[in-house]
Every structure is written in C-alpha cells, then in structure tokens.
Structure 1
Amino acid sequence: MKRSILVAVGLLALGVTAEAQQTKKIFRIGVLQNSTLPPSFLDALKRGLREQGYLEEQNTVIVRRGTSKGDAAEMLRQEIDVIVATGTGAVLDAKNATNTVPIVMSPAADAIASGLVESLARPGGNITGLTMITTDLTGKRLELLKETVPRITHVAAVYPFGATSTAIPTWIKDTEAGAKALGLKFQTLGLDDNPAAWDGRFKSVARERGSALIVIENARLIAERKRLAELAARHRLPTNFSIKEHVEAGGLISYGPDLVDVHYRAATYVDKILKGRTPAGRSILRLYLGISLVGVLGPETPTLHAFNPGPWMN
C-alpha cells in the first residue's frame, strides 16, 4: 500500500566551512511564505531557531517576504544566507530566483513530482528540507470521511485551479481511485483566485444529496481556511482536510502532518546548512476531529472510536 509521509530530504554538502562560520556573526535567514498563513508557522520556526542559538537582535536577522511576483528576488538583495520557503509555489519562486543560496522546503508537495529535486536521497542543486508525499493518504482520508458521515455517496476533490505543482494531477487521480473503491461518485472542484465566486461552486456540489469534499493542501487554500470552513458549513458539506489549521478554523476533520511541527523542525535544517553538516528528519502524522461543525451536518454523530481527536475532545 502506498503511504503519505513527510520526508526529510538529505542535505548536500553546501560548502560552508567551519572557518567561515567562526567569522560570520550575523546570520540573515529569509522566510518566503504567504502572509495570510497561520502565524503559528513562523512562530514555530523562530522557536526552533532560538533553541539552535539563532537569536534575533543578537546574531540573527529574519527577513520575511510574501509570495507575490518579485518577492523572492527582492529578498535575495538583502544578502540572505538561507531561505525557508513554505509551499511548492514559494519554493519554486526561490528556486527561480537563485541556484546558489540554500533553500529549505517547509514543506513542499512531492518535491520530485514537482520538479524541485532530482531524488530524495540525492536532491541535487540547492534545495533541501521536508516534502509531503501524498500518493495514498487520500484513500485513508476518504475512509475516515465516510466513517464520520456514513450518508456520503458523492465526493468532490477541491484543488487550487491554476496551481503550478505537478503533484496535484497525481493527487486527483489517487482521490478518484479511492472514491471509486468506496463506491462514491467523484468530481473535481477547482477554486480560482477569486474567492468571492467560491460560494457558487460549493452550492453546485451541494445540490446532489450525500455530497462531501476532500481538499488538497496548498498555501493559497490554507490562507483561505476560514472561508473554506464557512462555505462547507453553510452548504452542509462534510469536508476532510490534511492539516489541523483547517479544523481550528472550523472545518470538520483533518488527517495529515502537523505543519507547526514541520516549521519547528525546519530550524534544524537551517542550523545544519549554516554549519555545513547533514541533518536527518522523521515522518509526522496526526489526526484531528473538529467537533464544532458536527452540529450543522444533521443528527448523525461521528463514530469516534476510529479517531485520535486530540485537543478537539477537550
């Protein structure tokens, strides 16, 4: 069976000598991420950096930029030592802007399929970090969604229309296969850059009784997590996400890696790069159940024995 895992990509020998580290007192760390992502992501990165000895206003400057056109290039003009990029789009922007400054994915979707690295064992180029390989977690997510709300007969795969990640077509294909295996009707639901028009898209899916949604993670959709949760509740569409931030925003259920912990771990990669050493990583997988939305779905109650509800049961 395929597995969805968070993979720590091995660092290259990036040529940072011990002598250079001894003479360099101020480290300039760039953070490239959508400004509307949860603040907890950057907070976790900073916490990890502090624990590694990188202290703002003492020996470290953190330069944060968004993901608009030109932001990566502008950041590099600040003499950045290493870039931490959140999301496939941000990593691609950084990659297109430099082939010398090290880039830490925190994380990116399927780094190989997205063309970011040559392989997980030997990434090549200047990119390392953590990647989410989502080739089969969709099947488990669908099973959990079906168990949570047994009346589901139809599922729509929600994805960011126009996103550059080549992992999205693979995810859609795997989701369709998982839906068919459960006897569910399947369709895709692409969301463009105009969130004001999303209500109509959700409404069209909700017209068919027994409909539900499964969402692929993307920085754009994470940034719109509150809107997605509100639309799903408004149209009574049970929805499965892959990160807990959607549940915290009001979504029903999530199953996947903890991105706060991913950003915390990214600090280790930054440290290893600046010291010229090779770090290791490990997979992270957690499950959350959002109790807040159960009431709007109708009289059915989720079968909790299948879940590890974490803080949502408190």
Structure 2
Amino acid sequence: MKKAALVFTLVLGILLAPLVADAQPAGKVPRIGLLGVSPESPTGRAVLDAFRQGLRDLGYVEGRSVVIEYRWAEEVDRLPALAAELVRLNVDVLVAGGGSAGSLAAKHATATIPIVFVYTGDPVGLGLVGSLARPGGNITGLSAQGIEFAGKLLELLKQAVPHARRVAVLGDPGHPAYPSVWRELGLAARTLRVALQAADVRKREELESAFSAMTRAPVPGGILVLSEPLTFRNSARIANLAAKSRLPAVFGFPEGAAAGGLMGYGPNVRDTYRRAATYVDKILKGARPADLPVEQPTKFDLVINLKTAKALGLKIPPSVMIRADQVIE
C-alpha cells in the first residue's frame, strides 16, 4: 500500500513539474521592468497609477512582494537604449509602454524575457506577434486599436464639423504605425470628400511651428490628433494651441477632450494599463506569453467638451451627442 502511494506521488510530481517549472521560485521577489516615455503629464501619472492599482488588486505590494524598475525615455528615440538596460537587469517581466515604439524597442532588446506591451496599435501588422489569438515568442499584451480606427476618427470630426473641407493631421512621422495610419486616412478622406494636410511633429518644440503653418492658407477646418506618445503627453499643450488658432481638434484618445480638445475618442488608456497587471500576474505564475492571446479593446469612450465647442462657436449635432460617454460642460 505504501509502495503504491509512493509511486502515485512520484508520477503526480512528474506530471505537475512542467506546470510550475516556469513560475517564480519560492521566496524570490519578482522584478518588473516598466518602460515608458514620461510620468510627468497628468495622463502619464494616471496610467502609471492605474498599473500600480492593477497590481494591488491582485495582491502585490510594491517594494515588498514585487519590485518595479522604472525607465522613462522622455523622448521616443531613447526607448531602445532603456529597453536594453532593463534586459541587462534581467527583470522577470518587461512591460512596454510608449505605444508601438516602446513595444518594438522591447521586442528588439530580448527574445527570452517575457514582454507585455500596452496600448499598441496593430501588433500583427507591426510584426510584434504572429497572431492575436496565438502571439508566439516571448511577447503578448493589450492592443489599442487597428489602423482602421483612424478612419473612424476622421468620420467623427466630419460629423461634428460638417463644413470642414480640409483637415490637418497632427502626428509624428517617426512613429512605426504612421505610414499605415495615413493609408487608412486616405481611404476615409476620399469617401468623406475631405482633403488632408500633414502637420508633422517629432518633438514638443515643433508644436508651435506646426500650428503656425496650419493657420496659413489654406486653413484647415479641423485637426485630427493621432494617438502617439508625443501627442498623448503633450495633449494639454496641443489643445491650448488649437484653441488659440480657433481650430476644432479631435484627439485619438478620450483624455484629449479633458485636456481641452473638442472631442476625444478611443479605448480607455487607464483601463488598458490596469489590465496589463493581469498579464504580468499570469506570467509571474508560470504562463507563457506565447499562449496568452492579445487583448483587444471592447469599449471605446467618446468624450465631448462643450466648453470648447462653445468657445469655437460650434453646435455638436444630436447624432454625435447621443454617442457621448462623457460630456464636459
């Protein structure tokens, strides 16, 4: 009887070993590497707080049951060097913020350390994962939206500002998804009979000159602000410049309206970062990124700033107002 019990125990141990082999050793405090652009803006602080809250909700206490190594690039071109630095620290999981640029920097830095990307558009098209259902490799995470989202933003702007015949597109040409976004915008613009003009910015210091160029003929009827790290962390500055130029601005993220833009539409960034903690937890408990499907946003928030609309002399149509998740008055 004892011999049979011993055999059963040994067999059970062999069967269960692969399931726990990759989990954290008992007593070891896991280290998370967090790669981002800047925590200093209101939106930057908000998403950082959301990620920390997500960890707390899962029972982690920063500094006791988990250590987070933060690396802030401030400028996108510093992301690769900081990703490599986190890899040299041999963190247990690398959380890649900074949009598509941060995700690509992390992927190029390591093929072994598990990576969780956050708020990245078109991860398949960018070559981050093999498919959304089965990412493969050492990387998975949460997408922002596909490139088709850009066309929906343009449609929303046109509905809110029907007289707009020309729309400026504010974005960073160095962003990995920039060419794909422009192709999608071109298709939507032809359908909506809108002319597009590029308002390219690579750093904060170029924002003023971009708006100065916009206000020279031909003046656009509105501005589409792409969802990128540069625009996200400078949303208040962009909204202020748009107001001074008396140009309606629609942002590709809800927080843009709270910053002073006319409207903001997109996935909830805070919720995305909070959900990233769930992926980290699963990986620390032994799950492989290759087996964790990429999570896509299911809810898009539309925020309308009526205070800005009034200042611009605009009346938002009821067909747009009825879709709003939040109205700022």
Tell me the residue number matched to 2:236: 226
Distance in 1 (alpha carbons) for counterparts of 2:302 and 2:83: 33
From the two aligned structures, give the one with the greater helix fraction.
2
Tell me the residue number matched to 2:53: 47
Asked if 1:306 is matched to 2:320, the reply is yes
Shift of 1:243: 1.0
Tell me the residue number matched to 1:197: 206
Letter in 1 for 2:24: Q
Shift of 1:268: 0.6
Distance in 2 (alpha carbons) for counterparts of 1:243 and 1:17: 39
Q: How does 1:1-314 map to 2 (within 5 A)?
A: 17=20, 20-21=23-24, 23-35=26-38, 36=40, 38-67=44-73, 68=78, 70-86=81-97, 87-163=99-175, 165=176, 167-193=177-203, 195-206=204-215, 207-209=217-219, 211-277=221-287, 281=295, 283-298=298-313, 300-307=314-321, 308-313=323-328
Q: Percent identity?
A: 36
Letter in 1 for 2:174: G
Distance in 1 (alpha carbons) for counterparts of 2:308 and 2:26: 55
Shift of 1:210: 5.0
CA contact (8 A) 2:86 2:94 kept: no
Shift of 1:62: 1.1
Shift of 1:245: 1.8
Provide the secondary structure at the position in 2 that maps to 1:161.
coil
Letter in 1 for 2:96: A
Distance in 2 (alpha carbons) for counterparts of 1:162 and 1:137: 19
| CA-to-aligned-CA distance 1:143-172 (integer Å, 9 cap, x gap) | 221221222111122220222x1x221211
Q: TM-score, normalised by structure 2?
A: 0.83
Shift of 1:142: 1.9
Shift of 1:230: 1.3
Provide the secondary structure at the position in 2 that maps to 1:162.
coil
CA contact (8 A) 1:16 1:275 kept: no
Structure 2 CA distance for partners of 1:25 and 1:143, relative to 1, 3 Å? same
Distance in 1 (alpha carbons) for counterparts of 2:22 and 2:190: 58
| CA-to-aligned-CA distance 1:192-224 (integer Å, 9 cap, x gap) | 22x333223223223334521112211122111
Shift of 1:85: 1.0
CA contact (8 A) 1:85 1:107 kept: no
The answer for unaligned runs of 5 or more in structure 1 is: 1-14
Which has more radius of gyration? 2
Provide the secondary structure at the position in 1 that maps to 2:113.
coil
Distance in 1 (alpha carbons) for counterparts of 2:122 and 2:22: 35
| CA-to-aligned-CA distance 1:79-131 (integer Å, 9 cap, x gap) | 31101111111112212221111110112121122121222222222110011
Shift of 1:29: 1.0
CA contact (8 A) 2:301 2:324 kept: no
Distance in 2 (alpha carbons) for counterparts of 1:19 and 1:104: 16
Structure 2 CA distance for partners of 1:256 and 1:19, relative to 1, 3 Å? closer
CA contact (8 A) 1:244 1:258 kept: yes
RMSD: 2.2
Structure 2 CA distance for partners of 1:287 and 1:264, relative to 1, 3 Å? same
Distance in 2 (alpha carbons) for counterparts of 1:20 and 1:306: 49
The answer for unaligned runs of 5 or more in structure 2 is: 1-17
| CA-to-aligned-CA distance 1:254-300 (integer Å, 9 cap, x gap) | 111011000010011001111123556452311111223213322x3
| CA-to-aligned-CA distance 1:225-263 (integer Å, 9 cap, x gap) | 122111111111111112122222111111110110000
Structure 2 CA distance for partners of 1:289 and 1:99, relative to 1, 3 Å? same
